[in-house]
Amino acid sequence: MARQIAIIQGHPDPSGKHFGHALAAAYKKGAEDAGHEVNTIEVARLEFPLLHSKADWEKADPPESIKKAQKIVGRANHLVLFYPLWLGTMPAVLKGFLEQVLRPDFAISSLEEGLTWKKQLGGISARVVVTMGMPALVYRWYFHAHSLKSLEKNILKFCGISPVKESLIGMVEQEDDSYRSKWLGKMEALGRDGK
C-alpha cells in the first residue's frame, strides 16, 4: 500500500554534501521506486525565526515556510527525520524548526482550560535516522541515547506520532565505502517498505 512520506532533512548545512543527505536520497529513491509519494523538507534552506516565548509558540502566526512544512507533515502518514548528532543532540536549527511546526492547533490542542493536551498527529508513524562520529553502541548504551529518547517521547509521541523507529549510524567520518554502501542500501530498502 502506497504511503505519503515526509522526509525532514535536519542537517544544518544546506550544501547537501554530507552522508546524511546521501542517506535521505537513498531512502527517497527506494520509496519513490516502490510507488510511495515523498515530499522533502530541507530545514537548513528554510527561513524562520526562533521562538522566544510561550505566547509566540501558542498564538503567533507561523511564517509561510512553516505553514508549507505543516501542510507536508499534515498530509503524511510517515515521517523520516535525518540529522547528525551535535553536542549530544539534534542541531539547533532542527529543534527550532520542530518548535515552529509542532504548535498548538496543529500538533496538539488543549482539552480543558489547558489542563491536558489532545494529540493531533495520530495515525503518523516515524523513523529517526541519526548519524554520529562515535560508535552507535556507545551512544545507545553509554549515553543511553538520551536526546533521541527525548525526541521520541517528549516531541513526537507527545503529538501522537507513533510508532517511532530509529536507525543509529555511527563512525560516519572514519568508515570505508563498503560501510557507507551497506547503510545506503538499508535506507533504500526502508524507503521501499515505507518504514
Rounded to whole angstroms, how far apart are CA atoms 25 and 85? 19
Lowest mean pLDDT among 33-47, 61-75, 81-95, 139-153: 139-153
Mean pLDDT of 116-130: 92
- Gyration radius of the chain's alpha carbons: 17
Average pLDDT over residues 55-65: 92
Distance CA 184, CA 100 (A): 30
Please name the residues in contact with 13: beta carbons below 8 A apart, sequence gap of 6 or more: 44
Average pLDDT, integer, range 135-147: 86
Q: Strands 125-131, 78-84: parallel, antiparallel or unpaired by DSSP? A: parallel
Return the percentage of the chain with pLDDT > 90, whole number: 75
Confidence of residue 139 (pLDDT cuts 50, 70, 90): confident
pLDDT digits (tens, 9 = 90+) for 110-121: 766 656 778 989
Please tell me the predicted confidence (pLDDT) of residue 140.
Answer: 86
Confidence (pTM): 0.93
List Cα–Cα distances, 92 to 12, 32, 178, in angstroms. 8, 30, 31
C-alpha 10: how far from its chain's center? 7
pLDDT for the residue 95:
97
Tens of pLDDT along 20-46? 999 999 999 999 999 999 999 999 999
Indicate the pairing of strand 117-119 with strand 108-110.
antiparallel
User: Are the C-beta atoms of 170 and 132 separated by less than 8 Å?
Assistant: yes
- Euclidean distance between CA atoms 124 and 161, whole angstroms: 5
Q: What is the pLDDT at residue 189?
A: 97
pLDDT band at 73 (very low <50, low <70, confident <90, very high): very high
All three cell numbers of 160: 501522537
**23 touches 184 (CB < 8 A):** yes
